[in-house]
Amino acid sequence: MHSEPYLLDPSADGVHVLWHTGAPASGAVLLGNRRVEATSSALVALHDEDGVRATVYRHWADVRGLGAGRTPYRVVTVLSDGAVDESDTYTLAPAVPGGHPVRLLLTSDHQLWRMTPANLAKVAETVGVELDGVLFAGDMVGVPARAGDWFDHPNGRGFFAALTGRADTVIAGRHYRGAPLLQHAPLFPAIGNHEVMGRRHHTLQERFDDPAPGDWDTAAYEELFPVPRGPAGPRWWSRTIGDVFVVSLFVTRAWRDPVATYLEPGQFLFERVDAGSPQHTWLTAELGSAAARAARFRVVVFHHASHGLGAHVVPAYTDPVEAGGRYAYPVENDVVLRDLAPLLGAAGVDLVLNGHNHLWNRFRDAAGVNWLESSNVGNSYGAFPERGDPGGLAPVLPTVAPLTDPAGTPLPYVADDDVTVFSVLDSAAGAVHSYRFDTRDPDGPVVLFDELPLD
Ligand SMILES: [Fe+2]
């Protein structure tokens, strides 16, 4: 295994470059005549399928002293036997200065699903790979401690493989490789339930399937994405990206079987975000900061969606309440709706990006906050329009080219295992543009189907 480089957390004059090898090695980033040595270390959180620690070395270079704009770079890796490997040439850049417009890919829920490489290939064809960032609302892989899910899964759709153009998957006779996005654009991640491992069991799958309160970790995520960091490390953070202030939160819970959820008390929230919790207190301060107020747009990213037409919006995001041997989740106790939504509205947040349901839908609340899920990337878990949004909002119809039902009625969602969706925040345009591509027709168009105005 030998991964392509990926970028994290640009600063005023630098950016972090990371890559991985399956054997001990040293490495450096080459920028013209300049050479920046990487710090190499063995990761401890990744494992093989049978639970044996995988041999994965991380190479991490903190490149500083960059001028404005893009600089070509390569990474060079020297293995312990002296073999040298040089990457192709890509470009990196320091943080876009405050006030400047940016283009950010909004994505989530890749999880090695069938359509993900096609989706990313169409992103690159439509808006290129030299974006200012990739905002990822959680659920990157299936089992986060499984090394193959990140790098070289047998299905050819590992997380980094797809996001660096090294995937290999075929739909309708067309080979899709993903796209070299992360070599050029920094990843700004958030934690989904698929970034959390339980610790009680032996096999990786059992550990993932059965976390317990106080007995879980995000160690793999934190080794792969050590920056950006906030006061609690990489689990939540804020950054200014050009004219957009971005906050990433850790808002997700243990996934449980929908029937067992009501029969057992196993459902629980991971990091708390209730009013008074450290994360909520920090968020309140961040949204009131000079950086947040000065930005043209404020965007908050977290995995769990409490507004939506998808399957995983229910039950409400709260602790179970026992009644007569069953467990209820009162919607009035939904932590996102009760404790986050009013704060986001009062702070003038323009956009919340969620994931988890694997569909596209969006809402606008009375305070003017837009709630978008654009997670019909690799597959879908369906839409339930007859149930509606448990949070009480009406879905917004796509403004340009909605899909329609068989009677020709426009649909306020995309929930489809053949049609893949991506969204791009274009702050110069003051809008999020959402696109769809029907993988059954490999020569068909990428269709702009929704324009979400942020002003
Ligand atoms: Fe999820």
Q: Report which secondary-structure segment, H or E, holds 189.
A: strand 187-189
User: Helix, strand, coil: what percent of the chain each, to 5?
Assistant: 15, 30, 50
Is residue 319 within 8 A of residue 268, CB to CB? The reply is: yes
Q: pLDDT at position 266, please?
A: 74
Which amino acid is residue 454, in one-letter code?
Answer: L
DSSP assigned state of 62: E
Ligand 1 centroid – CA 290 distance (Å): 32
Ligand 1 centroid – CA 304 distance (Å): 7
Ligand 1 centroid – CA 73 distance (Å): 34
Ligand 1 centroid – CA 125 distance (Å): 27
Ligand 1 centroid – CA 254 distance (Å): 9
Ligand 1 centroid – CA 138 distance (Å): 7
Question: Residue 315, preceding bond cis, omega within 30 degrees?
Answer: yes
Question: Residue 265, preceding bond cis, omega within 30 degrees?
Answer: no
Residues with CB under 5 A from ligand 1 (ion): 139, 192-193, 356
Ligand 1 centroid – CA 41 distance (Å): 30
- The mean per-residue pLDDT over the stretch 322-330 comes to 93
Q: pLDDT at position 202, please?
A: 82
Is a pLDDT exceeding 80 seen at residue 116?
A: yes
Q: What is the mean pLDDT of the chain?
A: 97
Spatial distance between the Cα atoms of 139 and 94, rounded to a whole number of angstroms: 27
Ligand 1 centroid – CA 97 distance (Å): 33
Ligand 1 centroid – CA 375 distance (Å): 10
> How far is residue 194 from each of residues 221, 243, 349, 435, 445, measured CA to CA in Å?
10, 30, 26, 25, 32
Ligand 1 centroid – CA 249 distance (Å): 14
Q: pLDDT at position 147, please?
A: 97
Q: pLDDT at position 265, please?
A: 82
Ligand 1 centroid – CA 269 distance (Å): 13
Ligand 1 centroid – CA 357 distance (Å): 7
Q: pLDDT at position 36, please?
A: 98
Is residue 176 within 8 A of residue 20, CB to CB? The reply is: no
Ligand 1 centroid – CA 271 distance (Å): 15
Ligand 1 centroid – CA 210 distance (Å): 15
Is a pLDDT exceeding 90 seen at residue 30?
A: yes
Q: pLDDT at position 405, please?
A: 96
Spatial distance between the Cα atoms of 179 and 165, rounded to a whole number of angstroms: 4
Residues 399-421 as b/e (b if ≥16 CB within 10 A, e otherwise) read eeebbeeeeeeebbbbbbbebbb
Ligand 1 centroid – CA 140 distance (Å): 9
Confidence of residue 92 (pLDDT cuts 50, 70, 90): very high
- Would the CA dihedral through 371, 435, 236, 356 be positive or negative? positive
Spatial distance between the Cα atoms of 192 and 205, rounded to a whole number of angstroms: 16
Domains detected in the chain? 1-95 (2.60.40.10), 96-453 (3.60.21.10)
pLDDT digit string (tens) for 31-66? 999 999 999 999 999 998 788 999 999 999 999 999
Half-sphere exposure of 252 (CA within 13 A, CB side): 31
Backbone angles phi, psi at 63, to 5 degrees: -85, 120
- The mean per-residue pLDDT over the stretch 76-88 comes to 95
Ligand 1 centroid – CA 111 distance (Å): 9
Q: pLDDT at position 50, please?
A: 80
Is residue 194 within 8 A of residue 142, CB to CB? The reply is: yes
Ligand 1 centroid – CA 25 distance (Å): 34
Q: pLDDT at position 258, please?
A: 84
pLDDT digit string (tens) for 386-434? 999 999 999 999 999 999 999 999 999 999 999 999 999 999 999 999 9
The residue written with tokens 């919790």 in the block is 277
Ligand 1 centroid – CA 4 distance (Å): 26
pTM above 0.95, yes or no: yes
Is a pLDDT exceeding 90 seen at residue 259?
A: no
Ligand 1 centroid – CA 142 distance (Å): 10
Q: pLDDT at position 22, please?
A: 95
Is a pLDDT exceeding 80 seen at residue 5?
A: yes
Which amino acid is residue 209, in one-letter code?
Answer: D
Is residue 149 within 8 A of residue 112, CB to CB? The reply is: yes
Ligand 1 centroid – CA 87 distance (Å): 33
